[in-house]
Amino acid sequence: MKKILLIVFLGLPSLSVCQTDDWMTSLDAAKRLAYVQDKMVLMIWEESAFVPLPVTLKDDNGKRVFIDDLFENQILINLLRDYFILVKVNEQEYEELFQPIKNKQSTTYINKFNDDSIKILDSNGIIVNSNRETSREFLNLTKFIIKYDINTSFIKAELTSYRKQQNFETTLNLASKYIELAIFTIEPARQDIITASDIYLAEAQDYFLNDVMENKLAMIEKIKLLKIKQELILNRPGKVLRMLKRMDVTNADNINEELVAFLYLTAHRVLKDEGNAAKWRSKLSLINLKMSNQIISNSN
């Protein structure tokens, strides 16, 4: 954060700089670089860069600074390049990019894809900030960077498997890891990460309908439990317990037993009900206990 403020402060005398062409122009290349560098992609439609995007920041004295157009400021563009892979996509590529999501993603997601606002994409091209409003009115750049400066090394193994082959297993594993990633991101970004995980869960369900597997019932159960885990990470422990009760997980499949224990233990602990939480503690691995503790910390 000090770096952001310092650069802005030093750049105040020369905030009007000609528009630069140091953005990448290939989305595929940008996604590959984001994968290698464990970053997110910051994408805009090329023509939208010709419409001024006003931004606001705070200098190192806490004073609010207004800048008329992000795209005309080389200092801020260089700053963004430290945190994201920047790419301008030509509108001629619209149809090719639109077809895969046309009848697949939500209206909110499609609207975000279509509008002129900044889009944050993961290295697979999924829009992570699809929940965000489309307004271009005074983007708070400091908050934006803090929110979406997400190091994806935590999900690198799952991203790698998914990039090599997309099937039910790799997609479900990536969705699950995204849910875990949300535990370790700051609160303002958590809903966006959970929404991204839900996109991968939906994709996994599509594969599920066509894949042949022996343990389909267990996988149906796991998907439901992962959706409950999303609610837990969004700090809705009461809803988690109600959903578990409706599912009747007393006879959960063996492969889902620890996930059930994790949900019960953590939900009860968030509600400060250590009595009901205690019986589940022994069923969790050390890694899951640490994640449970992180969720407790987040809830406080």
Which pLDDT belongs to residue 13? 43
Tell me the pLDDT of the chain averaged across its residues: 91
Which pLDDT belongs to residue 16? 44
Would 219 be classed as within a structural domain? Answer: no
Which pLDDT belongs to residue 60? 77
Assess whether 139 and 159 both reside in one domain.
Answer: no
Assess whether 93 and 185 both reside in one domain.
Answer: no
Q: What pTM was estimated for this model as a whole?
A: 0.91
pLDDT digits (tens, 9 = 90+) for 49-98: 999 999 998 877 888 899 999 999 999 999 999 999 999 999 999 999 99
Question: In the listed set 120, 149, 178, which residue is the last one of a domain according to the structure?
Answer: 149
Assess whether 200 and 61 both reside in one domain.
Answer: no
Which pLDDT belongs to residue 21? 58
Would 299 be classed as within a structural domain? Answer: yes
Domain that holds residue 248: 234-300
* Three-state secondary structure string covering the chain: CHHHHHHHHHHHHHCCCCCCCCCECCHHHHHHHHHHHCCEEEEEEHHHHHCCCCEEEECCCCCEEEECCHHHCHHHHHHHHHHEEEEEECHHHHHHHHHHHCCCCCHHHHHHHHCCCCEEECCCCCECCCCCCCCCCCEEHHHHHHHHCCCHHHHHHHHHHHHHCCCHHHHHHHHHHHHHHHHCCCHHHHHHHHHHHHHHHHHHHHHHHHCCCCCHHHHHHHHHHHHHHHHHHCCCHHHHHHHHHHHCHHHCCHHHHHHHHHHHHHHHHHCCCHHHHHHHHCCCCHHHHHHHHHHHHHHC
Which pLDDT belongs to residue 159? 98
Which pLDDT belongs to residue 143? 93
Would 223 be classed as within a structural domain? Answer: no
Which pLDDT belongs to residue 109? 96
Assess whether 239 and 121 both reside in one domain.
Answer: no
Assess whether 144 and 159 both reside in one domain.
Answer: no
Which pLDDT belongs to residue 135? 59
Would 277 be classed as within a structural domain? Answer: yes
Assess whether 50 and 188 both reside in one domain.
Answer: no
Q: What is the CATH number of the domain that holds 143?
A: 3.40.30
Assess whether 8 and 102 both reside in one domain.
Answer: yes
Domain count of the fold of the chain: 3
Which pLDDT belongs to residue 293? 97
Q: How confident is the model at residue 137 (pLDDT cuts 50, 70, 90)?
A: low
Question: In the listed set 149, 169, 194, which residue is the last one of a domain according to the structure?
Answer: 149
pLDDT digits (tens, 9 = 90+) for 252-276: 899 999 999 999 999 999 999 999 9
Which pLDDT belongs to residue 215? 87
Would 128 be classed as within a structural domain? Answer: yes
Question: In the listed set 123, 149, 175, which residue is the last one of a domain according to the structure?
Answer: 149
Instruction: List the single range of 15-24, 148-157, 222-231 with lowest mean pLDDT.
Output: 15-24
